[in-house]
């Protein structure tokens, strides 16, 4: 019986011991200083230290309640990992060389990790400064002993603000001071001492306070400026000088320290400068027009609505108000609707106009730009080719989308482009009757680009490449045929052009060529004839005088060059000229493109188109 009791007692003791062991194995205690886990205990303490002093972060590791010597401990602080090996007592240390600030540090061994805080104090102490301009407030700083935390006297500190360096020594209390005489604004001041640099904000307030002003023309809004003393209190009965639009004004502050200025300037943007006690301050003043519109762009032949907004002095729309519009000297009128909008319809010739609107002794203006109408047609005469295969053409193309369209048109046939800018003379210009005469073809492309953005007073038809196939191959003739001797032969390409010119009832025609050195005529020249149309000679003379190039007038059209384009059109009743520039065929001589272009412009000037 005793034996049985003894066995039961032994079993109870064994169970108690097992429970004790299991509890000890699973115990985890966390209090910022002591962590136990899996029989590992890490003891640590939070650290507060001055920058660069000798204080270290210390830890102790035990296993099974015994010091764990020569164990490798992992630490992480400031985003960096470190390892340290414990001594025979399980102790370890880590030097802390971090900049002033607050950090977390973790200490890990096996499956146990403890977390602590590290605070690195600066031995340079100060705070941000906010002060009014020219008051007595100073930037004050203190230097501390990084070992003891006590003050350091006679420490030489370098300060940098606004790009200027200063050197100040601390007094017996460890304090240093710097006068701040900077203009109103925000600055950063940097303190430097014993390999430590730290920055603070300096805000210098203006004792003149004003705001930008946006107002409608001649409404009651005023510019306000507040004058303060150097402690921020309003100053009463003080005179403030103001300058706007070159005029000076003098205003006195009221019982709130505020000076006021009426703004009666025309709509526009201005800078107002206020002056007081050697300080000036600028603000933007924007005067809005009560009558306003927008710049408008259109093309000839396309009517456009021009709308104007009219508002009262607070910006609300005014209905049933008569608005006068002045467009190129023509006066038109319209009344505003319930939204304060008055609208007229315009369909002017190509040109650059200014539209001026008037109401209640107020006016405003906008641009009205009318571009030439432009149309492109491909004449399907079995002449199409890619003219950019001719490298001299490709390398001298003006850069525009319209030119790209002309080049694409030439791939299918002969491109014909028309510009219309109003009622006036009709002129036809061609180039490329000889494919290897390149300067005149490049010049006419330059003319197309010019007419995209320059208005004309009439109509200009242009064929830049009569025979694109010859141009692409850089050869003179089309299928070995000189088209400039077949213009009077029905069914030929050159005759097709003649018929087109005549069907359009053109006033004048110009055919543009290149002549070789020592060739015929062998010079820069405008050519015409006296008969049957004396105006042909008159045009050639005008171009010669306008450009300074030569002229060559023949007695009778077609006598020297039968079947030529110019002569054939002259004989059909339309005054015509041929213009030549000197350059070898198949190439482009320096300056030859501009010479041809100048003669084209002279032809348009003769017809009062530009």
| For the chain, domain boundaries | 29-121, 126-205, 210-225+243-288, 291-371, 373-606
Categorize the per-residue pLDDT at 16 as very low, low, confident or very high, splitting at 50, 70 and 90. very low
Structure confidence by residue, pLDDT tens digits, 195-252: 999 999 999 999 999 999 999 999 999 999 999 999 999 999 999 999 999 999 999 9
pLDDT number for residue 34:
56
Neighbours of 442 (CB within 10 A): 23
Which pLDDT belongs to residue 297?
95
Q: Identify whether the C-beta of residue 570 lies closer than 8 Å to the C-beta of residue 386.
A: no
Q: Taking residues 301-316, what's their average pLDDT? A: 96
How would you classify the pairing of strands 414-420 and 373-379?
antiparallel
Query: Cis link prior to 297 (omega < 30° from 0)?
Result: no
Angle at Cα 126 formed by Cα 121 and Cα 131, nearest 5°? 155
pLDDT band at 35; cut points 50, 70, 90 = low
**Mean pLDDT value of segment 180-191:** 97
Give the chain's mean pLDDT: 93
Residue 289 pLDDT > 60, yes or no? Answer: yes
Is the pLDDT reported for residue 348 higher than 70? yes
37: three-class secondary structure by DSSP: strand
Q: Is the fold of 29-121 the same as that of 291-371?
A: yes
Q: What is the pLDDT of residue 165?
A: 98
CATH 2.60.40.1930, domain 291-371, yes or no: yes
**Cα–Cα distance for residue pair 97/376, rounded to 1 Å:** 78
In this predicted model, which residue has the larger pLDDT, 560 or 441? Answer: 441
Of 356, 355, 349, nearest to 370 (Cα)?
Answer: 349
The Cα 199–Cα 160 span in angstroms is 9
Going from the C-alpha of 438 to that of each of 434, 444, 586, the distances in angstroms are 9, 10, 6
Residues 407-444: pLDDT tens digits?
A: 999 999 999 999 999 999 999 999 999 999 999 999 99
Q: What is the pLDDT of residues 446-477, one digit of tens each?
A: 999 999 999 999 999 999 999 999 999 999 99
* pLDDT over threshold 50, residue 30: no
Q: What is the mean pLDDT of residues 173-187?
A: 97
- Sign for the pseudo-dihedral over CA of 175, 176, 179, 185: negative
Instruction: Report the SS3 class of residue 514.
Output: strand
Could you tell me the pTM of the whole model? Answer: 0.67
| Buried b / exposed e along 351-388 (16+ C-beta atoms within 10 A) | bebebebbbeeeebbbebbbbbbbeeebbebebbbbbe
Segment 178-202 shows an average pLDDT of 97
With a cut of 70, say whether residue 20 has pLDDT above it: no
CATH topology of domain 29-121: Immunoglobulin-like (2.60.40)
**Coil/strand/helix, residue 266:** coil
pLDDT score at 7: 42
What's the pLDDT tens digit per position in 87-115?
999 999 999 999 999 999 999 999 999 99
**Residue 345 — very low, low, confident or very high, per pLDDT cuts 50/70/90?**
very high
How confident is the model at residue 137, as a pLDDT?
97
3-state secondary structure (DSSP) of residue 140:
strand
Torsion region of 162: left, alpha or beta (phi above 0 gives left; psi -120 to 50 gives alpha): left
| Residues 126/168, Cβ–Cβ less than 8 Å | no
CA–CA distance, 328 with 367 (Å, rounded to integer): 11
Residue bearing the bigger pLDDT, 403 or 10? 403
In the block, tokens 């319930």 appear at 338
Domain covering 373-606 in this structure, CATH number: 3.40.630.10
Nearest to 462 by CA among 445, 438, 437: 445
The three-state secondary structure class of 403 is helix
Its sign, for the CA torsion 336, 337, 342, 345, is negative
Q: What is the pLDDT of residue 8?
A: 37
Provide the pLDDT confidence category of residue 561 given band limits of 50, 70 and 90.
Answer: confident
The mean pLDDT value for 10-17 works out to 41
DSSP 294-330: --EEEETT--EEEEEEEB-TTS-B--S-EEEEEETTE
DSSP string, 338-387: TTSEEEEEE-PPSEEEEEEEEETTEEEEEEEEEEPEEEEEEE-SS----G
> Which pLDDT belongs to residue 4?
44
**Sheet with strand 373-379: strands edge to edge:** 373-379, 414-420, 459-463, 426-431, 508-515, 576-582, 525-531, 550-556
The C-alpha atoms of residue 543 and residue 172 are separated, in whole angstroms, by: 95
Q: Say which residues have a Cβ less than 8 Å from residue 418's Cβ, sequence separation at least 6.
A: 374, 375, 376, 377, 459, 460, 461, 462
**Residue 36 confidence class, pLDDT cut points 50, 70, 90:** low
Is residue 26's pLDDT more than 90?
no
Beta-carbon-side half-sphere exposure of residue 128 (alpha carbons within 13 Å)? 8
Q: How far apart are CA 159 and CA 172, in angstroms?
A: 19
pLDDT digits (tens, 9 = 90+) for 364-384: 999 999 999 999 999 999 999
How many Cα atoms are found within 13 Å in the side-chain-facing hemisphere of 474? Answer: 14
Q: Report the pLDDT value the prediction gives residue 155, as an integer from 0 to 100.
A: 97
CA–CA separation, 141 vs 48, rounded Å? 21
The answer to whether the CB of 427 falls within 8 A of the CB of 459 is: yes
Read off the pLDDT band of 257 (50, 70, 90): very high
Q: What is the pLDDT of residues 570-597, one digit of tens each?
A: 999 999 999 999 999 999 999 999 999 9
Distance, in Å, from the CA atom of 548 to the CA atom of 231, rounded to the nearest integer, reads: 78
* DSSP-assigned letter for residue 228: B
Domain 126-205 has CATH 2.60.40.10: yes
CB 126 within 8 A of CB 200: yes
Question: For the purposes of burial, counting CB atoms within 10 Å of the CB of 233, is it exposed (0-12), middle (13-18) or buried (19 or more)?
Answer: exposed
Task: Please check the confidence at residue 310 and state whether its pLDDT lies above 60.
Answer: yes
């Amino acid at each position: 019986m005793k034996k049985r009791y003894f066995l039961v007692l032994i079993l109870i003791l064994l169970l108690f011991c097992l429970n004790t062991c299991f509890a000890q194995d699973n115990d985890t205690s966390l209090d910022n200083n002591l962590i136990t886990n899996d029989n590992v205990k890490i003891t640590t303490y939070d650290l507060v230290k001055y920058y660069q002093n000798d204080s270290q972060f210390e830890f102790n590791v035990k296993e099974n309640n015994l010091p764990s010597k020569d164990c490798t401990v992992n630490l992480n602080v400031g985003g960096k990992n470190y390892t340290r090996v414990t001594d025979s007592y399980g102790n370890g240390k880590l030097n802390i060389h971090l900049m002033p600030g607050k950090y977390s540090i973790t200490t890990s061994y096996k499956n146990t990790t403890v977390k602590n805080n590290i605070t690195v104090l600066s031995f340079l102490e100060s705070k941000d400064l906010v002060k009014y301009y020219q008051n007595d407030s100073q930037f004050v700083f203190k230097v501390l002993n990084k070992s003891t935390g006590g003050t350091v006297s006679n420490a030489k500190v370098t300060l940098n603000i606004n790009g200027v360096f200063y050197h100040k020594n601390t007094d017996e209390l460890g304090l240093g001071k710097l006068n701040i005489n900077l203009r109103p604004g925000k600055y950063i001041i940097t303190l430097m001492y014993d390999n430590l640099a730290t920055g603070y904000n300096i805000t210098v307030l203006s004792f003149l306070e004003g705001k930008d002003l946006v107002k409608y023309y001649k409404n009651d809004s005023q510019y306000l400026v507040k004058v303060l003393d150097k402690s921020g209190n309003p100053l009463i009965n003080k005179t403030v000088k103001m300058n706007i639009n070159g005029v000076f004004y003098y205003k006195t502050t009221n019982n709130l320290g505020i000076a006021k200025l009426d703004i009666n300037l025309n709509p526009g943007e201005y800078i107002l400068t206020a002056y007081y006690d050697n300080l000036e301050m600028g603000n933007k003043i924007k005067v809005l027009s009560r009558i306003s519109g927008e710049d408008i762009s259109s093309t000839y032949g396309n009517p456009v609505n021009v709308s104007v907004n009219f508002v009262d002095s607070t910006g609300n729309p005014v209905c049933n108000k008569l608005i006068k519009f002045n467009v190129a000297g023509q006066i038109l009128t319209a009344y505003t609707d319930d939204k304060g909008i008055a609208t007229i319809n315009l369909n002017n010739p190509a040109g650059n106009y200014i539209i001026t609107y008037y109401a209640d002794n107020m006016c405003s203006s906008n641009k009205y730009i009318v571009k030439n109408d432009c149309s492109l047609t491909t004449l399907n005469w079995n002449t199409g080719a890619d003219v950019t295969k001719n490298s001299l053409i490709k390398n001298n193309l003006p850069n525009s989308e319209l030119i790209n369209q002309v080049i694409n048109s030439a791939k299918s046939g002969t491109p014909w482009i028309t510009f219309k800018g109003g009622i006036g003379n009709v002129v036809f210009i061609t180039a490329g009757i000889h494919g290897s005469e390149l300067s005149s073809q490049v010049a006419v492309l330059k003319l197309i680009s010019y007419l995209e953005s320059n208005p004309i007073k009439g109509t200009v038809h242009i064929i830049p490449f009569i025979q694109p196939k010859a141009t692409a191959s850089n050869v003179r003739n089309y299928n070995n045929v000189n088209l400039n001797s077949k213009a009077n032969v029905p069914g030929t390409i050159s005759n097709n052009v003649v018929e087109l010119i005549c069907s359009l009832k053109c006033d004048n025609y110009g055919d543009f060529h290149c002549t070789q050195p020592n060739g015929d005529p062998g010079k820069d020249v405008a050519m015409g004839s006296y008969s049957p149309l004396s105006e042909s000679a008159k045009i050639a003379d005008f171009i010669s005088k306008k450009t300074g190039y030569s002229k060559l007038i023949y007695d009778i059209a077609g006598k020297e060059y039968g079947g030529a384009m110019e002569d054939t059109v002259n004989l059909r009743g339309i005054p015509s000229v041929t213009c030549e520039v000197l350059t070898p065929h198949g190439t482009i001589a320096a300056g030859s493109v501009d010479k041809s272009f100048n003669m084209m412009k002279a032809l348009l000037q003769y017809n009062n188109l530009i």
